[in-house]
Amino acid sequence: MKFFVDTADVAEIKELAATGLLDGVTTNPSLVAKAKRDFKAIIAEICETVPGPVSAEVAATDLDGMLNEGRALARIAKNVTVKVPLTWDGLKACRALTGDGVMVNVTLCFSANQALLAAKAGATFISPFVGRLDDAGQDGMELVREIRTVYDNYPDLKTQILAASIRNVTHVKQAAMIGADVATLPPAVLRALVHHPLTDKGLELFLNDWKKTGQRIV
């Protein structure tokens, strides 16, 4: 499974990219607002930092507006993935932008039917929002499972499942077990994947025992 980080904080992205574990980045208007910088400048810098897909979301809600904004965003860098909402106009924009050779991430997906439409419109990625469904008292991972089943029934559908609105490390494990192609994670969740109390305890034991030997490796 690929790991994308969900942030517009360029310093954070650079630090995580240095690990070699980062496959891409997703942003949204809320994350850009937190960054308090020029949107296009942020996207350009992220694209220089991460060679993989970098999602940049349109602000328009009508077809012509989404196409104009999407094409402007795509000109920033070859690895820009234009993010459009899962609406009729968003699906039309997806089809047109995909025809231009632009990667498209169809976002705000909350049903398998919506995911099927996005795939038929040629979406590169579909973003089911796991955490928001959980917040509404539903099982967000069940949606990922349903989409995986639908897509696997039709090998001609090439859209990748990008599990979004990930809240914790359990979500990541579940998404990987279901077979999501990508998980986009807040930086804190990505970092938390490495931690386990028994790892810390075992390392402490090994270091204490090594200290008792009085030896040095170099």
Query: Would you say the C-alpha torsion 70, 52, 31, 33 has a positive or negative sign?
Result: negative
Residue type, 49: T
Which position among 78, 83, 158, 212 bears the catalytic label? 83
Report how far residue 165's alpha carbon sits from residue 134's, in angstroms, rounded to the nearest whole number.
10
Distances (CA, A) of 83 to 19, 69, 154, 168, 183: 26, 10, 24, 23, 16
79 vs 14: CA distance, rounded Å: 16
Report phi then psi at 24, rounded to 5.
180, -175
Element (DSSP H or E) covering residue 33: helix 29-35
CA 123 – CA 166 distance, rounded (Å) = 21
Q: Cα separation of 155 and 172, whole Å?
A: 25
Measured over the CA atoms of residue 104, residue 106, residue 107 and residue 112, the dihedral's sign is negative
Supply 19's token pair: 């690990």
| 3-state SS assignment for residue 209 | helix
Q: How many CB atoms lie within 10 A of CB 164?
A: 30
Q: Does 83 participate in catalysis according to the annotation? A: yes
Query: What phi and psi values does residue 197 have, to the nearest 5 degrees?
Result: -60, -30
Q: Which residues belong to the active site?
A: 83
